[in-house]
Amino acid sequence: MKSLVWLGPERMTVEERPEPEAEPGGVVLRVGAAGICGSEIEGYLGRMGNRTPPLVMGHEFAGTVVSVGEGVSDGWTGRRVTVNPLLSCGRCRLCRAGMDNLCPGRTMVGINHPGGFAEFVAAPESTLHEVPDSVSIRDAALAEPFANGVHVARLGLSRGMAETAVVFGGGTIGLMCLQALALFGVRDVSLVELHEGRRQNAKAFGASETFDSAEKAEEYLAARTDGLGADLVVDAVGAEATRRLGAGISRPGGTLVCIGLHDDETTLGFHDAIRRQVCVQGSYAYTQDDFSQAVEWLSSGEAGLGSTPVPLPLESGPGAFADLVKGPSDEVKVFLAEPEVK
């Protein structure tokens, strides 16, 4: 089968690899759509220590089950599914507490196991979520990034309901956070994004307002909150500047949730954060409940990215990664998948 293989910083090729076999308790699916994640762009550049070449990346994917392993009902064969790529032990104290995303023994398809940038991929039965025929396979592949948005919203709202929220970054994760916050009942969710096309996308997906600078967002918030600032800020960029600006426009007692992974080191003025009692919260991946909620909202049509592009063939993968490194474009999500030969 064809596989898109990352060989090291800015080196990627398409290779022929053996098709996976369904292991006991698992299935094999033909990939119908696999989205390129921002973290994979960072990995492609060699900035992610958790990815070791040679590697078939791809953790945002959906497809059709083509074979099942021992102990798995043959009824799965032919079903359209999306896959939760985060594999946890299910037994440790964190898993038992519902924090399976933080399991010390967790692994991920596309990082620790061959991922969805291939014609076929293996996955445990426990990770499968069936999707209705009314949902496109591309929308089904959005379950993973949307689950991140659901998790961010739940963390941000765990300290109390928010009336005003601001999201930094209008890429896929930023838009997913925006939609999740709105679906959880936040009335005023605005977005800060430099790219004009992405600001327009955000308006289409429910942003109250969009801004090309944090200063404009701060002025907007000052008028709406008697100068206090946002109840909740989400940094879906992960740059040192956006983390610092996000903390700055949070109200006293507000929350900054950080999910973006662009920069590692960040300097924050902690005297100010302490005196204003700002909560800085990290967000990693999602729980089983978050993923199920994401699938439910995507299946109902309450969330999504509108008209998404047809997946590019795997041969186009190296060029697609090289183009995405250049910066944001109007295309929020790029998918890869090898066309099925009829």
pLDDT in tens, 143-202: 999 999 999 999 999 998 899 999 999 999 999 999 999 999 999 999 999 999 999 989
Domains of the chain, start order: 2-142+308-336 (3.90.180.10), 146-282 (3.40.50.720)
Lowest mean pLDDT across 158-167, 237-246, 326-335: 326-335
Stated pTM of the model:
0.95
Q: What tens digit of pLDDT does each residue of 147-163 get?
A: 999 999 999 999 988 99
**pLDDT tens string 35-92:** 999 999 999 999 988 999 999 999 999 999 999 999 999 999 999 999 999 999 999 9
Q: Quote the percentage of the chain above a pLDDT of 90.
A: 90
DSSP state of 56: -
| Whether residue 311 has a cis bond before it, omega within 30° of 0 | no
